[in-house]
């Protein structure tokens, strides 16, 4: 039995090469997917004070029919193609207290329409966002898109209805809301 195993081992050694030859295999490729994102952001949304000056009209208690253009602009920088701009006008109200209650036929509130007019660098806004202070809440959003530019605020259509406006200093706010979007 020993002879048979030795003979089988000897035959197997003769049949196999002394050293196996290394061969190059086919190239193998691995694809690595790389991804990232850029958030839609807005920055630099700044604006200055807007002094209307005398808003009184030609007769006592009336209002000017002029439009008032802001010398200060609102700067907007947004990298989102879906960026929306909304304006919300709040009424001008008389500052300070009065010694007596305001009688019927007089008012201490002035409503107006605020319009944000594009000046430079606004690529997609074809309609200017507007809002009237007579209606609570913001106006309709307008697509501004990719923006690196300025808007100018315009106050127009001042109204007190049929009432006369009480003399004094008036103040209010207009908010410009810029919402980044893809």
Residue 6: per-residue pLDDT: 47
Question: How, if at all, do strands 68-78 and 147-159 pair?
Answer: antiparallel
Q: Which residue ranges make up each domain of the chain?
A: 56-179
Average pLDDT of every residue of the chain = 85
Instruction: Tell me, letter by letter, the H, E, C secondary structure of 23-36.
Output: CCCCCCCCCCCCCC
Do residues 116 and 122 touch, judged by C-beta distance below 8 A?
A: no
The list of the chain residues with pLDDT below 70 reads 1-20, 44, 119, 121-126
């Amino acid at each position: 039995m020993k002879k048979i195993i030795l003979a089988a081992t000897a035959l197997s050694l003769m049949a196999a090469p002394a050293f196996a030859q290394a061969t190059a295999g086919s190239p193998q490729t691995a694809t690595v997917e790389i991804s990232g994102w850029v958030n839609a952001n807005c920055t630099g949304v700044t604006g200055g004070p807007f002094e209307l000056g005398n808003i009184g009209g030609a007769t006592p208690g009336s209002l000017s029919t002029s439009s008032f253009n802001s010398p200060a602009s609102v700067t907007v920088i947004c990298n989102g193609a879906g960026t929306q701009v909304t304006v919300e006008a709040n009424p001008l109200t008389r500052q300070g207290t009065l010694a007596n209650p305001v009688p019927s036929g007089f008012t201490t509130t002035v409503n107006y329409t605020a319009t944000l007019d594009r000046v430079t660098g606004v690529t997609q806004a074809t309609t200017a966002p507007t809002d009237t202070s007579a209606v609570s809440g913001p106006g309709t959003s307008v697509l501004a898109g990719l923006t690196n530019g300025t808007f100018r605020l315009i106050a127009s259509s001042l109204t007190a209805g049929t009432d006369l406006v009480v003399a004094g200093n008036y103040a209010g706010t207009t908010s410009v809301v810029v919402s980044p979007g893809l």
